[in-house]
Copies of this chain bind each other. A is one copy, B any other.
Amino acid sequence: MQQDDTRTALQLRSLVKSNGDLEVSVVQVPVPTPAANEVLVRVEAAPINPSDLGLLFAGADMTKASQRGTKDQPVVTARVPEAALKSMAARFDVSMPIGNEGAGVVAEAGASAAAQALLGKTVAALGGAMYSQYRCVPVEQCLALPAGATPAEGASSFVNPLTALGMVETMRNEGHTALVHTAAASNLGRMLNRVCIKDGIALVNIVRNGAQGDLLRALGAAHICDSSSPGFMQELTEALAASGATIAFDAIGGGKLASQILTCMEAALLRKATQYSRYGSPIHKQVYVYGGLGLGPIELNRNYGMAWGVGGWLVTPFLQKLGAAGMQRLKERVASELKTTFASSYAGELSFVEALDLTTIAVYGKIATGKKYLINPNKGVKASRP
């Protein structure tokens, strides 16, 4: 992409200084001219995913944040705790753009046929800096939305859909036939529930209260276990025995939940065992931790034999292993089921100025199940054509 410094547009930025000061601001940045294989997207909807929040606020305590700057270009400041700061040396004093994904209208296109074909179309994009009025991305990172779909409907076409599909593919690739998901009432969890119902895969949904269980029940979920229930371990063991699930994807991380899942998987497997082995069931039991909702260490009590694993899981390395053809197959499925399987719901749509309002931050900065917000970088901004 080329840059023409005479035209600029707004972009959200996050900066961590080596002294631990966090600065979130709206800045004017040059608007690039797309290269042959690129398109310039006027972004109208970009979700605030948990992964975006981590980068945006860098673990700072936002309840003690303060605001300065101007009404149109506010600056929010806060302090990053020492413990979190240690792993951030590589981003010190680098003003970073944010926003993994979003959707909008292609305002300009490069010379290639593939780029030209998208001109004027509404597309979703996996861009890495989607909290921008205009974002220039290669055609491969775009997904043309089906006719009639709005940017808001297509804003979450990548992270959650590819994560849900990635979990199911990982399950299959590693030889399992059913799976467990924690924080199952989240946007992602409800999407995974729809994928599994459509594909006929048994899914054990672990929720954290009865209301979340009711929500999933209304959505047709067959196996629901409430981790706040006194009978949780027994109920989980029953659901695992019924479903045969031996792999779990855990959004929580901290605490005993991963270990409890492995314990119940082993108990379900040992029901079918006919011979004693001091090493436990030889069937491999796996928990992948893909989020960090729970702080504190993971505690593993190891009463599930020797055939077990716990590890981190991210969709990006999974997609890299999958390759271009596999990625294309997943993207096509997302497009064709955008308004059904892969539909997302949002609690509201924020302009840049609203997103930097301290009261609003207190709402969306808390990762609460089912309360996801969209940023619309062009909301409340004088209509501009770069």
Contact = CB atoms under 8 A, between A and B. Distances in A.
Interface of A: 51, 54-55, 86-91, 94, 96, 253-254, 259, 270, 273-280, 282, 289-290, 292, 297-303, 305-314, 316-317
Given A270-B90, A276-B94, A309 B311 contact: yes
B298 A300 contact: yes
A299 B302 contact: no
B87 A303 contact: yes
Given A87-B280, A276-B94, A298-B302, A310 B311 contact: yes
B90 A55 contact: no
A313 B306 CA distance: 6
Contact of A90 (B276, B302, B308, B312): B276
Contact of A278 (B55, B270, B276): B55
B309 A310 contact: yes
A264 to B, nearest CB: 13
A300 B310 contact: yes
Contacts of A305: 312
29 contacts: A51-B278, A54-B278, A89-B270, A89-B276, A90-B270, A90-B276, A90-B277, A94-B276, A96-B276, A259-B297, A279-B316, A282-B317, A290-B306, A292-B302, A297-B299, A297-B300, A297-B301, A297-B302, A298-B302, A300-B310, A302-B312, A305-B312, A306-B312, A306-B314, A307-B312, A307-B314, A309-B309, A309-B311, A309-B312
The 10 A-B residue pairs whose C-beta atoms are closest, nearest first, are A309-B311, A90-B276, A306-B312, A91-B276, A298-B300, A297-B299, A297-B301, A306-B314, A308-B312, A310-B310
Contact of A289 (B275, B279, B292, B302): B302
A313 B292 CA distance: 26
Nearest to A94: B276
A302 B51 CA distance: 16
A300 B300 contact: yes
A298 to B, nearest CB: 4
A265 to B, nearest CB: 13
A375 B275 CA distance: 27
Contacts of A87: 270, 280, 303
A310 B305 CA distance: 14
A48 B90 CA distance: 51
A338 B301 CA distance: 37
Contacts of A282: 317
A276 B88 contact: yes
Contacts of A55: 278
A306 B290 CA distance: 8
Contacts of A259: 297
Contacts of A292: 302
A94 B302 CA distance: 25
Contacts of A274: 90
B302 A253 contact: yes
B303 A307 contact: no
B314 A279 contact: yes
Given A299-B299, A308-B312, A310-B311, 14 more contacts: A86-B303, A87-B270, A89-B270, A90-B274, A96-B276, A279-B314, A297-B302, A298-B300, A299-B300, A302-B312, A306-B313, A306-B314, A309-B311, A311-B311
